[in-house]
Structure 1
Amino acid sequence: MSISARDHVARHLLRDAARSYRGRPTKHTAVQATQGRIGIIGAGLAGLYAGLILQDLGYQFEIIEANPERIGGRIYTYYFSKTPSVPGYGFDYYDVGAMRFPNIPWMKRVFDLFDLLQVPQIPYYLSADNTVLYLNSQRYPATETQVGKGDIFKVSVSSGGTVPDAFLNPPYPDPTQSSSPDQYWWSAALATLRDPFKALNDVDPEHIQEAEAKAWANLVTYDTQSTRGYLLNFGYPESVVEWLETNQSATGLYDEAITETVIDSLDFDWPAGSPQRAAGFPAAHPPSARSGNADDTPPWVCIEGGSSVVTDALAKKITPNNPILLGQRAFKVSLADSTTGQLDVSYASPGGQTLTRSYSQVICTVPLGCLDAIDTSSIGLGYEQNAAIRSLQYDSSCKVGIKFAKRWWEYLPKPVFGGVSSTDLPIRTVVYPSYGLKSESGPPVEGQPGILIASYTWAQDARRLGSLAKDGARLKYPKDDPLIQVTLDNLAAMHGISREDMGPVLDAYSYSWYDDINTRGAFALFGPGQFSQQAVGGQGLFAALKVPNNTGTFHIAGEATSIHHAWFLGALNSAWRAVYNVLMTLGDAQGLAKLQKNWGVPDEFEVETLNTLHGIVTGLPPLSHRTKTDL
């Protein structure tokens, strides 16, 4: 049974919610929904995927998208040019949003979509030779072990720092299992929380629910703690916690829930479980993807041409009779008919005109910060649903892409082809392109321009750099811009070169996701207590988003509502679940069977639990008990 730790957690949380919700007074009015056109709010990955599934099942729909210029949401590739007459133009881009995908078992739904859309995939080099760690003004090769090397970055008390000397010389039981002192202490602190989950895939199906419950019970004890609080309570001095956060995470990211940290770390060490957070701050010392991966290191890929190729291809699969309406900002959803649960969606067009359209059901896929600004007061959302929309935590993320006249990193004395370098300077992370590599066939060749993600930041690091991005979200390159200047200075310091060695800057484009009116955050990253059930009779904030409103006709989707938030997979799974609940409300048994046959069942769900929760919230009887009148 190869599912992720997150899936185990999600299954248990939903079972818990179903048990808790039974006997709780609910304010539902069972409706007789009609099979009319379905409205989808948001043309990001979740909205497009929900549309594709509905189309396959024979349902009509339309998608309302606030952005007047593009689809895709947080799947966003910025193209500096699309000029075929320029050699190498095909590499003149960078992914502002999602950019890399591990080919591991629980990502199968993502790769099935890639196959369906026939999008071209190329290797993504998560690590590479000659990348660097530049910490405390000390430079060290990122792919070399630090075991037995002492205080490389001069952070110990004896070197003038604040980290007790003993932490720089840990008692490695097996030096081959650690690559640095910080990795050792990080792993030691999380071992008791991670180990029960690591063992779940060896449990036989008869005992899996019991084993999941025990693993979760062990972890949920600490769910109200932040990662910082957990490490301090574990006994690490504050200076050590600060050191670990700097090396293993991003500034302020240890304020996330320890639960989030644990299951995230398990995701990234398939199949064994790694302490580093590759979704956020990249693993400091992963095996080199270009110089021989360990056998159990999963292959990573990126999309040739950028991740927007996926959402563009997805939109092309949707037929014209299911329109995608750009530049339409939804601001209100109201109950139009209490008998059928029909909903009206009011939205503003680019010209300022206010329009209203009626739908039999609505799937809302926009980020929760955007949903919070939509008036849903009349449609029967529960207290915990409204609390979740308002409260569930999102992280910040900012990228700075710079177009250089030459790919200077490939012509250093120790050239870099792909991979990541990390630093404690403001830019924090540098991502070298995995496409158009000099050592591979085809353009670009020497003398042609190249795009570097010169800074990729999260949490406080992203908020600080993001504040320098004028116009809130994005910035076309002016030579005197302070964001570009600090980025270039940091790049030079990291690599031990001058700014002149990097050659001319041709263009730049920065993006801060928290400052985008259509996202208002980068991705969900829950805070302490936001996973677990916090009150007797309560679902918990996370589980509350898995169910529809009390008429069963308004469904919340998007990556934040999936246990796999911050991932492509989270958006896809959430869309599947929203469509499932649409069919449950209609009582469409044939549609449900076709959905499961054609689109499978995401690992994070058990249909029996979804059925139970849907029935409790909506008051609708099980499918087997409904009469033709009910249907």
Structure 2
Amino acid sequence: MSFLHFNPTTASPPRTTHSQGSLRAAHARWILDNHGANYRAKIKTQRRNAAESRMRRGTTANNLAATTDKPQVGIVGGGFAGLYAGLILQSLGIEFELFESSDRVGGRIHTWYSYDYDPNDEQCAGLYGEVGGMRLPQFSEDMLPVQQLALAVNAVLTRNGLDDETVYWRKFYYNSPQQRLRYNNMTEPTTAGQSALESFNFGVADGGDVPSVWVTPKQDGNGQSYLPINKVLDQLNAPFLAAINRSFAEGFELLMQFDEYSMWDYLTTQFRVGDMGEYYDPAMGSKSDLLPWSVANFLETTNAGSGMYSVSFVEMVILVYDWSGSKNPYQPDDNGVYMLTVDHGMQCFPDACRTVLDLQDSVTVQDGVTAQMQVGMLPQYGTYKYDPPNLTPDARPPSPRPPSPRQHTRPPQSPSSSAAYKKRVYLQHEVIAVRHEQNLYEGQGGMRVTVRHMQSSKKHERTYPYVITTLPNSVYLNGEKKLNLLEDISFEKAQAMRECNYMASFKAFLTFKSQFWTTTRGVATTDRPIRQIVYPSYGHGAKGGVLQVYCWAQDARKLGALGDKERIEECLKGIQYMYPDVDIYEHFAGYEDGVTTKTWFWDQHSGGGAFALFKPGQFKRLYPTLLTPEFDGRLNFAGECCSVHHGWILGALDSAYNAVLNILQHAGENEKIEQMKKIWGTFLAPDIESDPAVANIMSYTYKYNLVDRNAASIPPSRSSSIYGDQQYVFDGQVPGFVANYDTVPQSMKSAKRDKQVLAMLNATWNDNIARRAQQPAIPVNMESSVNMLEDIYYGNNFQTIPKPKFWLKDDDEFARQQLAGFMPTLLERVSTLDFDQLISEAGIADADAARLSRHGTVQYVANYRRYLEACTVTPVDCYLAKPLVFFTVNNNNNELMPVGIQLDHGGELFTPDMDNAENAWLLAKMQTNCAGQSLHDVGFHQLLTHQICAMVSIALFSEEVFNPNIPPYSIEPFQQHPVFKLLQPHVVKAVEFQKSIYNQDYNPYASSFPKTRVTNGAPGAYNIGFIYDLIFSCGRIGNYQLQDKMFYDNDRFRFLDLAIPTDAERRGVEQTPFSYAYVHDARLWYDAISRFVDQFIAIQYPNGDQMIAADIQLQRFFDKLIKAFNYVDDTRVAHRFPDEVKTVEVLHSVLTMFIWQFSVQHTVVNDGAYNQAAFVPNASTLMYSLPAGKPSSQWTPADVLACLPSQTDTYKEIGNMNFMDIQINASVTGQGPYPQTVLGRG
């Protein structure tokens, strides 16, 4: 897409390096969600019919994956859509044939080479020009697949000794300060560098019609001069781009209100003078006045072609967003414009693709994956990089690190090519008829294609199970006598093909004997008929060169109506107008068609249009229909018109990928689909299953975003990382979340009631903060740690929270807190031998060990260290203890009592009777509970309940499980299945909550907390603003390390071992003399659930194992879930879950655990922890290092207080709450309000 004027300093919205998805992809989803009902219904019917046909025929059904030389797919058209479809099929081992009517491949990618062109002669190497597409934004996330394709093709060519055909990119010079502009008979041209305050004679004072107020220079608040008229488009786009950056959903809700408007309509009937905002001047008129037509005309004339503002307003706004792909996201401060073109001409690219298609070799998985990593589609060792090896030196953007050395010139061809050829591409073969015949392939149906050889005029017929046609919609007129190219297509398809709007384009290439423009690069613009001159991005070392004239729409049609020589004369007059200081006729090499000149307007192979560009409303009315296959899925359509990426090579690739995907889904080739995704990526295809009312295909992710995983990442509004200069990137595997939240079913997203509850909580927080601010400060007794902490945290507490009667100052209460909240699944009984081994491993001296026995034999231990030792990276100054806590049992009343704590390996042993116990022992207990908070919240709570529950939710609601209309078939939708009904209440909210706290799509520009405490894809509370770093000692990095340790643990983790009978037996705590509610009382719940599940299975599966194994929907559910537990990217990494669930015994264990783990165990674990949180010393989530420079015997109350976070500092990122507010909120919004509510106290 080349017509849009792009202002790099103002048009680009803030973007991160890798977003969850592109705006174009979101646009496609929105259209299909809201206007794709017929499309979805037809696709579903086609696939169901195909699957039923395969089931009836069994082994006799046509199999795309079968090894055969017989082509399975016919491809019509050799443009990039046809070439890419062929390359995908070839990489999957599926044979095809491609027919192109012209004598070259590439379609609308076409380079004109002068007869004098010679790539080996510097004076002649620049004598060419791009008739078709000529550039692409270098860093557009959408368009990276174009560069990936080039690298994948290069890999095959190099492997076959065809290095001289490889594709290299060079810089396309989009603009320069020296490029010229001249409008309205200006006395002389100006340059881009001098034009910021230029009215171009559009103003009334200069004979134009634009009111003076719009073209009179003014100054903004920073003293920078500007023209008001140049701010119109920025102000027009700003609200839409801002909304889109906040949320695609919010942005589209706003943007699509104007889908029926053209750009001209919006400017002249919707945009008001008052919308100029800070640039409004009363001289412009009332704020409610519409924008003057003369201003709209100025904008169209200086930014696009004549009449181009008649196209869709929505498409124009999205184009502005698209063009930010020319900005370097790896260096956000770089305002350079980075665009690429192919070295030696764009034609080299399709030619390279054709060469590969005619080889026996093909793109491999390794080729595809390597290429994806080189362009930044996939991470390299956990980090996204952009380092393709096929960039010429001028195409490499500035790098903060020196570039790795590599060869800068095209490598020479090997002396003898090892290539083995297999012809698949047929040039000068025109497809003149495509017919569907149901009786082909034993009644499964197929396509009969009639082909005419252009030189001999001979016709022959071919048959294929599938055909992909990639022709522009206007080329389906074949000019044959009594024979139409397409017959019997649907009414909707015929109407869409007829109405699809194409943009006219004109290009001319003129050779000059000398380059009088050599100091100029980019594009010159004017209101003369030529409209713009494109300066070459190459050949600057030669004496002569080629200038290109390029225009569109009405301008193109006017020039195109002339004869060839007359077109050149008009171009010469336009160039002379731009260069009055040069006699361009003296430099002109003369008119000689094909040698020194070339013009292009009309081409029989393109059907009268350069690229699709929809009019208002056409996207939602035509796009779904253009995507829909015809003839029961046998005829698929591709080409940039069948994509949302109009006018770009990516549009052709996107549509071809989608066409091949449709064929593979229709044929039931699931393994081929996975192979295709590995080689070519996964995000090119539209979200063809999208529907806000039903379930969709959901996939798992096992890593959080790179910004969060990188310790060196700097939080917003800060100058350094909270981890100091630690260079660490978490690269472990933990269940992150569903890869694309947009695919989550509506039933799993937040409801209106959820939002009302959140609004109520927000209001309560604000009210409580205001109340506390009105209270007088309470005097604090600093002589005693206990009194000091009670004064601070009782006296300065919220008025709505009662003072606790119990806290860890008392050892029996500390033990109860451990049992109830922080280590209910950690406490284990130890023998004398176990104890001795622990003492030895912990580095505790024998003399210290003897102190432990003064209060009785050590019988139980809580070993936090087993897990917390994984947390090696924590925020600077924060301290995360790795405690080892020793307990005995009081013989008088059978209470569990602590007798010693070692906070770190080899560290001091703290005991209740140590010197200065009132400070040192107290602080050791506080540090232990802080470690317990991390282990509880990150591990036993988040990981073992929320994240695993989310994994089950994703499998339960996934399309392949939920939808009975895809193979293997079942008799009912899964939402009617008794197992679904059993599990749904326990898991339905897991995905929603998981998304609300873990931010997959980190956005440093998001609102501050608590505004972020919403669901459905908004930034999450834990990671946004790095809040988890601020309030937890483990920080976000320690969070990930801990989860990785617990979830993998050298493959020792087993989900079913979490069952309370198994877990209690392993830890030796089935029976304890002290009250252990987690084991004793909660075990009653587990047993009740177990009995219920036993009865459920007996009723649902009376024939036992055989019925369970034969339940298609149930097995589909477990197939998805087992892979999530045990595999990452199809690679087995662990054995966390049974390999299959096909017996009564295993099904009983699994269903019992699901209900127990996600409901009862979840609540039991949280109850005990949240009840402590409101009183900060009981359970601070954040602690600082132990007092340094003096022994524990000299610690003071002030030292104890210094280990706690500030009670007065507020967190801007968290709605100006202080740490106490945060802790109390955790209690109130959890199970609170306080320990008095726990059974057995008081």
Fold agreement, TM-score > 0.5: yes
Q: 1:369 to 1:22 in 2, by over 3 A?
A: closer
Q: Which moved more, 1:295-304 or 1:263-272?
A: 263-272
Query: 2:896 corresponds to which residue?
Result: none
What is the distance in 1 between the residues matched to 2:129 and 2:310? 29
TM alignment of 1:70-149, pairs within 5 A: 70-81=104-115, 82-83=117-118, 86-104=121-139, 105-116=141-152, 117=154, 118-138=166-186, 139-144=188-193, 146-147=195-196, 149=197
What is the distance in 2 between the residues matched to 1:437 and 1:544? 47
The question of 1:49 aligning with 2:73 is answered no
SS in 2 for 1:329: strand
What is the distance in 1 between the residues matched to 2:73 and 2:226? 52
Q: State the shift of 1:15 in Å.
A: 2.4
What is the distance in 2 between the residues matched to 1:259 and 1:226? 8
Q: 1:84 to 1:74 in 2, by over 3 A?
A: closer
Is the 2:43–2:628 Cα contact (8 Å) retained in structure 1?
no
Q: State the shift of 1:250 in Å.
A: 0.6
The question of 1:401 aligning with 2:420 is answered no
Q: State the shift of 1:547 in Å.
A: 2.4
Q: Which moved more, 1:571-580 or 1:401-410?
A: 401-410
2:468 to 363, 368, 387: 363
Query: 1:437 corresponds to which residue?
Result: 540
Is the 2:434–2:448 Cα contact (8 Å) retained in structure 1?
yes
CA root-mean-square deviation: 3.2
Q: State the shift of 1:89 in Å.
A: 2.8
Is the 1:344–1:357 Cα contact (8 Å) retained in structure 2?
yes
Q: State the shift of 1:626 in Å.
A: 8.9
Aligned-partner residue type, residue 33 of structure 2? R
Query: 2:650 corresponds to which residue?
Result: 569
Query: 1:289 corresponds to which residue?
Result: none
The question of 1:466 aligning with 2:553 is answered no
What is the distance in 2 between the residues matched to 1:580 and 1:326? 26
Q: State the shift of 1:548 in Å.
A: 1.2
Query: 1:553 corresponds to which residue?
Result: 634
Q: State the shift of 1:107 in Å.
A: 1.6
1:268 to 313, 316, 323: 323
Ranges in structure 2 where 5+ consecutive residues have no aligned partner: 1-18, 54-60, 65-70, 155-165, 272-289, 360-420, 698-958, 972-1242
Query: 1:342 corresponds to which residue?
Result: 446
Q: State the shift of 1:356 in Å.
A: 1.8
Query: 2:676 corresponds to which residue?
Result: 595
Q: State the shift of 1:16 in Å.
A: 2.4
What is the distance in 1 between the residues matched to 2:25 and 2:43? 29
TM-score by length of 2: 0.43
Ranges in structure 1 where 5+ consecutive residues have no aligned partner: 201-210, 274-291, 439-443, 471-480, 533-539
The question of 1:259 aligning with 2:314 is answered yes
Q: 1:365 to 1:503 in 2, by over 3 A?
A: closer
What is the distance in 2 between the residues matched to 1:112 and 1:176? 45
What is the distance in 1 between the residues matched to 2:422 and 2:670? 25
2:259 to 196, 202, 223: 223
Query: 1:425 corresponds to which residue?
Result: 528
Query: 2:97 corresponds to which residue?
Result: 62
What is the distance in 1 between the residues matched to 2:36 and 2:199? 52
SS in 1 for 2:148: helix
Deviations 1:113-148 (A, max 9, x none): 22223411111110123211111122454432545x
What is the distance in 2 between the residues matched to 1:359 and 1:177? 65
Q: State the shift of 1:556 in Å.
A: 0.4
What is the distance in 1 between the residues matched to 2:476 and 2:453? 18
Query: 1:622 corresponds to which residue?
Result: 966
Q: State the shift of 1:272 in Å.
A: 8.8
Q: Which moved more, 1:214-223 or 1:69-78?
A: 214-223
Is the 1:190–1:262 Cα contact (8 Å) retained in structure 2?
yes
Deviations 1:255-308 (A, max 9, x none): 1111111111111134899xxxxxxxxxxxxxxxxxx99704342121111000
Query: 2:230 corresponds to which residue?
Result: 183
TM alignment of 1:226-625, pairs within 5 A: 226-233=262-269, 234=271, 235-270=290-325, 295-318=334-357, 319=359, 320-337=421-438, 339-350=443-454, 351-371=456-476, 375=484, 378=487, 381-410=489-518, 415-416=519-520, 418-438=521-541, 444=542, 448-453=543-548, 455-470=549-564, 481-496=565-580, 497-505=582-590, 507-532=595-620, 540-603=621-684, 605-606=686-687, 608-609=689-690, 621-625=965-969
What is the distance in 2 between the residues matched to 1:268 and 1:545? 25
What is the distance in 1 between the residues matched to 2:535 and 2:327? 27
Q: State the shift of 1:187 in Å.
A: 2.0
Aligned-partner residue type, residue 311 of structure 2? E
SS in 1 for 2:509: strand
Identity over the aligned pairs, expressed in percent? 29
Deviations 1:541-562 (A, max 9, x none): 1121222124111110011111
Structure showing the higher strand proportion among its residues: 1
Q: Which moved more, 1:365-374 or 1:241-250?
A: 365-374
Deviations 1:416-456 (A, max 9, x none): 2x211101111111011111223xxxxx2xxx321111x10
Is the 2:42–2:628 Cα contact (8 Å) retained in structure 1?
no
Q: 1:65 to 1:577 in 2, by over 3 A?
A: same
Q: State the shift of 1:323 in Å.
A: 1.7
TM-score by length of 1: 0.81
Is the 2:326–2:338 Cα contact (8 Å) retained in structure 1?
no
Is the 1:223–1:528 Cα contact (8 Å) retained in structure 2?
yes
Q: State the shift of 1:70 in Å.
A: 1.2
SS in 1 for 2:324: coil
Aligned-partner residue type, residue 62 of structure 1? E
Q: 1:179 to 1:488 in 2, by over 3 A?
A: farther
Q: Which moved more, 1:500-509 or 1:257-266?
A: 500-509
SS in 2 for 1:598: helix
Q: 1:222 to 1:377 in 2, by over 3 A?
A: same
What is the distance in 1 between the residues matched to 2:135 and 2:588? 28
Structure showing the higher helix proportion among its residues: 2
What is the distance in 2 between the residues matched to 1:583 and 1:518? 29
Question: Could you say which structure has the greater relative contact order, defined with CA pairs below 8 angstroms and 6 or more residues apart?
Answer: 1
Aligned-partner residue type, residue 76 of structure 2? I
Q: State the shift of 1:515 in Å.
A: 4.1
Is the 1:585–1:620 Cα contact (8 Å) retained in structure 2?
no
Q: Which moved more, 1:34-43 or 1:571-580?
A: 34-43
Deviations 1:150-191 (A, max 9, x none): x53221122221111111137664679997544311222333
1:4 to 11, 22, 37: 22
What is the distance in 1 between the residues matched to 2:529 and 2:221? 34
Is the 2:612–2:641 Cα contact (8 Å) retained in structure 1?
yes
Query: 2:979 corresponds to which residue?
Result: none
SS in 1 for 2:609: coil
Is the 2:75–2:82 Cα contact (8 Å) retained in structure 1?
yes
Q: State the shift of 1:623 in Å.
A: 3.5
What is the distance in 2 between the residues matched to 1:63 and 1:175? 60
Aligned-partner residue type, residue 169 of structure 2? Q
What is the distance in 2 between the residues matched to 1:302 and 1:24? 40
What is the distance in 1 between the residues matched to 2:340 and 2:568? 29
SS in 2 for 1:330: strand
Q: 1:592 to 1:270 in 2, by over 3 A?
A: closer
Aligned-partner residue type, residue 504 of structure 1? A
Q: 1:177 to 1:460 in 2, by over 3 A?
A: farther
SS in 2 for 1:505: coil
Deviations 1:504-533 (A, max 9, x none): 33644334344434443100100011012x
Q: State the shift of 1:327 in Å.
A: 1.7
Q: 1:24 to 1:568 in 2, by over 3 A?
A: closer
Query: 1:473 corresponds to which residue?
Result: none
What is the distance in 2 between the residues matched to 1:620 and 1:514? 50
Q: Paired residues, what number?
A: 560
